Structure 1
Amino acid sequence: MRTISHWRLLSGLLLLLAGRAQAQITPPAGPATVPAAKPAAAPPAAPDQQPAADSARAARWSLHFQQTVITQWHANFTAPYSADYSLQPREKAKTSLTSTLFIGRRLWRGGQVVFNPELAGGSGLSAARGVAGFPNGETFRIGSADPKLYLARLYLRQVWALGKDEAPAADAPNQLGGPAPTRFLALNVGKFSLADYFDQNSYSHDPRSQFLNWSLMSNGAWDYPANTRGYTVGAVVEYVTPAFALRAATSLVPTEANGPILDKHYGTAHSETLELTRAYHLAGRAGTVRALGFRTVAGMGDYRAAAQRPDRDLTLTRVDGRTKTGFGLSAEQELTDEVGLFGRLSWNDGRRETWAFTEIDRSASLGLSSAGTRWRRPDDRLGLAVVANGLSQPHRAFLASGGHGFIIGDGQLRYAPELIGEAYYSFNLPRQHATISPDYQFVLHPAYNQDRGPVHVLALRLHVAF
């Protein structure tokens, strides 16, 4: 790729800055590094309980770094027809890269500011088009593969303790080490990703260390508000106790479907999210259930109206103030000390244009995650999951008429649910603060089309974190 020298220069600069800062600003609360992969398969005993740290002293700074490189390829597959928004039946491997600095600074009691500059480049298969449950969660739907440095997060977090009980919190990305209340109220205001707070499934959430597929990152039918790169501006309120947590958010949405610019006309364009998290124990094993609801207001197009137009142009049916509503259920259950089970079920009304995430109106997933303790690799991870994605009747009729959204549209459609299976194995390399993960995905009926596929997708992921 002609931009590879730029990649090396910019990512090397971030690595250098991170290394110097880590040497100069060492948080007093515990070690300055964290494992590259998420810890053991078991979820916490209570929602959002802070992980234990080696020290209870309050840290003034937190500094971490991550870099993820993913190369992905699919075998040739049968496709009697294709269009501009189809997964191409033959193409070369594609590579994506992200590098992030996580900087946190304590301002006063309970207050901190978070700043995350991020570098991203590369591209997904077929320009990240042609599969609703797209197989690489680290790539974006952007026109240029050139790496770009941008602001991912900049927000203020204020925590008010609601009792005297405290537990030590580990120094982690965007989390300061030191004593933290077990019952608290928190307010987060600024730029962030809503996925930082909602649907935090322990086994299936982070494409940098877990499953790669978009519909395994969160509830597939949650059209969560974000710009093209996955970030928004807004406010999140959290009420957290050892037994349950309640979160509510209001945030901006993009000016157009999957657009890079957020709409500042809050009166006619905004999104609200509400989630209740409940911890429990089943046969002495920890589990967590999450119930999420959302409502988005934006200038969306209407699928029925677009299907009746001669040009099938969805953008010409957009009207300000239209709404999209939906819900998601997520559960995780520890089965043994090494193995955990998870599942999700989500739905949205599917009448109006998908605005931010991906073209999924119904989704169900089930999977397992295991540590490698039985084969003497306790820090390795093995993951297996299956997903079924679906569309509303107006959405599928629109695609069948020849229309397209911002991620799928083959020019015609013989509808069937999009079925995906994924398996990954993460080799932990502790001395390098890294993991290497081969990944395989099987996609049946890509973009809900019985006439195309199936598709076999292979990937190799390198993730460095400290």
Structure 2
Amino acid sequence: MQALADQGWHDLDDERWNAYAQATYISSWKPAFAAAYTNLNGTPHSLSPNAERSFTGTFTAYFGLKAWPGGEIYLAPEMISELPLSDLKGLGGGIQNFELQKTGSVSATWYKSRFYLKQTFGFGGDDGRNESAPLQLAGALDSHRLVVTFGNLSVLDIFDKNRFSADLRQQFLNMAFLSHAAYDFAADARGYSVGLAGEYYLGAWTLRLGRFATPQNPNDLPLDFNVFNHYGDQLEIEHRHTLYGQEGAVRLLAYRNREIMGRWDAAIAALKDDPSKNAAACGGFHYDSTNAGAPDLCWVRRPNVKTGIGINIEQRLTGAIGIFLRGMVSDGQTEVYSYTSADRSLSLGAAVDGEYWGRARDTVGVGFASSWLSASHVDYLRLGGVDGFIGDGTIRYRPEQLVDVYYKFHPWPSVWLTADYQHIANPAYNADRGPVDVYGLRAHFEF
């Protein structure tokens, strides 16, 4: 990009276009672990107790174009090749590799991850700047502005950002640190949606609102574009501050989804009233359970509402040390529709840049995360039910907890190598199984 600027083909101070790319390869391995039972009575969503290897390889191209004053168009085609642990089953809020998708395969799959329009209306205020970056054109920026985004993108491109725990291609590997594990944000099986969002910036404050399309079926790929009846809404209020000379931010986030989904207690009641309405007899959308004595959500899906509220904090302690905390409570009455199997979640940790040991561009991070289930969700699993990710046939409930530690090494420009260790207690919230250790290596390249 700099070479083009030197030749007068590209203005890095006021970009009309830009182009970036990234490639990331993550390899994970877990040794065998202890389990009192696995896939009990034909319930199919246990993490295998045997040693397993998993990998993901992704490539993304990012193109940005300034189409008219304030109007920007972005396109990001992406490729993924993957092999999950246990077919991506058996972990709740702590899936070990955030890149894993519900419809991926070992064969490379290309798709359009993002194609959207962003319109900015400036109202003055202190002059700021956007630096050139993927999905961001460099240029002047008013501190008082309205930004409207419409198209195909991820909800997390706009909501619930955190500088120390969000960009998992550079930070933690576990999905518990990508966002609130209990944030069942609207997304297809690859993590993307189509929607409309508005962001109103006024000095240190930002208000965000968005409505996005949900999948036609839970954890599935096709989207339901009937967004007046079935949708995912979110509201976020952000305040940026300086505390003892160091930058920080606090974000409050609430979401409300209306989708065709089942309630845990309704599935249990349906089985008690009519034993023929069991998991093995499901004819609609289901998760392939053969447990004839278990309840299943397929019998009770109808329009229901799911809500949650959470807080997201980031704070620099020094120029090289940053800390973060996220916590969310969802109502926990309905099934997992788009994200992870968690009804409440907490994550916290710290990232330290390597200037303290003479490696200023390296980073070490330590994070802890815990997820919980509602009482009715636990009752459903205890009877042998399954959701999109978990179900061992029964359960001795405990919170699923994990520690994620990484060291990111920056040997050359645009190249980062990361070693990662995760210790996961009570996988799928089941104290009869685990703990599980996961060892990971990541290679990340930017162009």
Q: TM-score scaled by structure 1?
A: 0.87
The partner residue of 1:350 within 329, 332, 336 is 332
Match status 1:66 vs 2:25: no
Q: Which amino acid aligns with 1:120?
A: I
Deviation at 1:164, TM superposition (A): 5.3
Match status 1:462 vs 2:420: no
User: What is the SS of the residue equivalent to 2:223?
Assistant: coil
CA contact (8 A) 1:113 1:154 kept: yes
Q: Percent identity?
A: 36
User: What is the SS of the residue equivalent to 1:397?
Assistant: helix
Q: Distance in 1 between matches of 2:201 and 2:87?
A: 40
Runs of 4+ with deviation above 6 angstroms: 20-25
> Which deviates further from its counterpart, 278-287 or 411-420?
278-287
User: What is the SS of the residue equivalent to 2:214?
Assistant: coil
Provide the residue aligned with 1:3 in structure 2: none
> Which deviates further from its counterpart, 159-168 or 208-217?
159-168
The partner residue of 2:376 within 380, 394, 397 is 394
Q: Distance in 2 between matches of 1:27 and 1:270?
A: 40
Deviation at 1:279, TM superposition (A): 1.3
Q: Which has the higher strand share?
A: 2
Provide the residue aligned with 1:32 in structure 2: none
Task: Summarize the Cα distance change of 1:332–1:254 in structure 2 as closer, same or farther, 3 Å threshold.
Answer: same
The partner residue of 2:152 within 185, 191, 208 is 191
Provide the residue aligned with 1:453 in structure 2: 434
Match status 1:336 vs 2:296: no
Provide the residue aligned with 2:34 in structure 1: 78
CA contact (8 A) 1:380 1:426 kept: yes
User: What is the SS of the residue equivalent to 1:237?
Assistant: strand
Deviation at 1:423, TM superposition (A): 0.2
Provide the residue aligned with 2:283 in structure 1: none
CA contact (8 A) 1:137 1:217 kept: yes
Match status 1:318 vs 2:301: yes
Between the two proteins, the alignment pairs up a number of residues equal to 420
Provide the residue aligned with 1:207 in structure 2: 168
Provide the residue aligned with 2:74 in structure 1: 114
Provide the residue aligned with 1:367 in structure 2: 349
Q: Which amino acid aligns with 1:346?
A: M
User: CA deviation digits over 1:295-346, x for unaligned, max 9?
Assistant: 0000001101212314112122101x21000011010111111101111110
The partner residue of 1:227 within 188, 191, 211 is 188
Match status 1:434 vs 2:390: no
Provide the residue aligned with 1:137 in structure 2: 98
User: What is the SS of the residue equivalent to 2:107?
Assistant: coil
User: What is the SS of the residue equivalent to 1:389?
Assistant: strand
Q: Distance in 2 between matches of 1:164 and 1:442?
A: 47
Q: Distance in 1 between matches of 2:133 and 2:404?
A: 28
Q: Which amino acid aligns with 2:150?
A: V
Q: Which amino acid aligns with 1:97?
A: G
Q: Distance in 2 between matches of 1:418 and 1:238?
A: 34
Deviation at 1:435, TM superposition (A): 0.4
Q: Distance in 2 between matches of 1:322 and 1:143?
A: 29
Task: Summarize the Cα distance change of 1:77–1:295 in structure 2 as closer, same or farther, 3 Å threshold.
Answer: same
Provide the residue aligned with 1:126 in structure 2: 86
Match status 1:263 vs 2:224: yes
User: What is the SS of the residue equivalent to 1:93?
Assistant: strand
Q: Which amino acid aligns with 2:298?
A: T
Instruction: Please give the root-mean-square deviation of Cα atoms over the aligned residues, in Å.
Output: 1.9
Match status 1:245 vs 2:226: no
Match status 1:296 vs 2:257: yes
Match status 1:408 vs 2:369: no
User: CA deviation digits over 1:158-183, x for unaligned, max 9?
Assistant: 00001153223211001011222222
Match status 1:175 vs 2:136: yes
Deviation at 1:145, TM superposition (A): 2.6
The partner residue of 2:238 within 277, 281, 292 is 277
Q: Distance in 1 between matches of 2:255 and 2:341?
A: 16
Q: Distance in 1 between matches of 2:121 and 2:226?
A: 31
Deviation at 1:92, TM superposition (A): 2.8
User: What is the SS of the residue equivalent to 1:103?
Assistant: strand
User: CA deviation digits over 1:62-119, x for unaligned, max 9?
Assistant: 1100111100011110012112211101143111111100100001111110000000
CA contact (8 A) 2:33 2:434 kept: yes
User: CA deviation digits over 1:353-384, x for unaligned, max 9?
Assistant: 11100110001111010100011111111100
Q: Which amino acid aligns with 1:183?
A: H
Provide the residue aligned with 1:99 in structure 2: 59
Deviation at 1:285, TM superposition (A): 2.0
> Which deviates further from its counterpart, 161-170 or 219-228?
161-170
Q: Which amino acid aligns with 2:10?
A: P
Deviation at 1:155, TM superposition (A): 0.5
Q: TM-score scaled by structure 2?
A: 0.91
Provide the residue aligned with 1:423 in structure 2: 405
